[in-house]
Amino acid sequence: MTAVDFGTGPFPHPVEAGAAALFDDWAAAGRDRSMADGHRDVTGQLLDNWALDAAHHVLDVGCGNGWAVRWMLARGAGAGAGVDVSAAMIARAQGLRDGGRCHFRVASAASLPFAEGAFSHILSVESLYYYPDPAAALAEWARVAAPGARLGVIVDLYRESPATHAWIGALGVPVHLLSEADLPALATAAGWTRATTVRLRDRRPPTPPADFAPSPFWPDYGTYLSHREHGSLALLASR
Ligand SMILES: C[S@@+](CC[C@H](N)C(=O)[O-])C[C@H]1O[C@@H](n2cnc3c(N)ncnc32)[C@H](O)[C@@H]1O
């Protein structure tokens, strides 16, 4: 793991406050929907391994507009919760919520407002590397995980995928550049078992070159294609 000293502090930690401000802006600009769309296929591949049923209580950490919580309910989970440090994202999630089987809270990934053993499945999509202390978050998730609970964490920004390293500057907030070996090591140290990683590649056709618009995140088409080839990195573990 890259040594970055984020310091310590009360909620919101300065790093969390920076992430909250960034994602409040993204929510205001409607980017919660494009994020959800971008992450949907790889998240679906991870969820295909979870046979969700009515007895399951699922949690999504860094849930954005809550799309994955709603999707896990549609896939059979009995109840769901989502937390995010961005109040604007949580407001969107609450607005999109249908029915009483899910709820959304503003909270830090490292300090969850839930009882020990509350969840059978914990998901986190493209969120872990923003945290001041990813190890502390993984330990907190272990606290709220029931015995035998499943963990699924997806990141696109990781050491072995150089195509996404431009994001480190483009995002404008501090991030961790974790490696494929870091994730299971961190999870195991945090109390998770059978921690492993898998690459998940979006099965949808890539944007054609004619429709590609360079941005600070994707400076050129080759970088975008390289990301598609490297895929997302998923950490899978059990409690
Ligand atoms: C790239 S977005 C992904 C959102 C959502 N998972 C999705 O796939 O659409 C990362 C999310 O993590 C949230 N986040 C960042 N740091 C956090 C923290 N320390 N605690 C909780 N959420 C955090 C952000 O506010 C943001 O909504």
DSSP string, 179-236: -TTHHHHHHHHTT-EEEEEEEE---SPPPPGGG----SSS-SHHHHHHHHHH-EEEEE
6 assigned to some structural domain: no
37 assigned to some structural domain: yes
Please give the residue range of the domain that contains residue 97.
Answer: 14-238
As given in the structure block, the two tokens for residue 71 are: 């999707």
132 assigned to some structural domain: yes
Q: 179-222, pLDDT tens digit by residue?
A: 999 999 999 999 999 999 999 999 999 999 999 999 999 999 99
Residue whose CA is at the smallest distance from ligand 1 atom 17: 85
Residue type (1 letter), 196: T
Cα 16 to middle of ligand 1, angstroms? 10
pTM of the model: 0.95
61 assigned to some structural domain: yes
Predicted local distance difference test score (pLDDT) of residue 233 = 98
194 assigned to some structural domain: yes
5 assigned to some structural domain: no
Ligand 1 pocket by C-beta < 6 Å: which residues? 16, 19-20, 23, 35-36, 39, 62-64, 83-86, 89, 108-109, 125-127, 130-131
Q: 10-38, pLDDT tens digit by residue?
A: 678 999 999 999 999 999 999 999 999 99
CATH assignment at residue 52? 3.40.50.150
Predicted local distance difference test score (pLDDT) of residue 12 = 84
221 assigned to some structural domain: yes
Cα 79 to middle of ligand 1, angstroms? 20
Q: How many domains does the chain have?
A: 1
Q: Is the pLDDT of residue 167 over 60?
A: yes
Predicted local distance difference test score (pLDDT) of residue 10 = 63
Cα 171 to middle of ligand 1, angstroms? 13
Cα 89 to middle of ligand 1, angstroms? 9
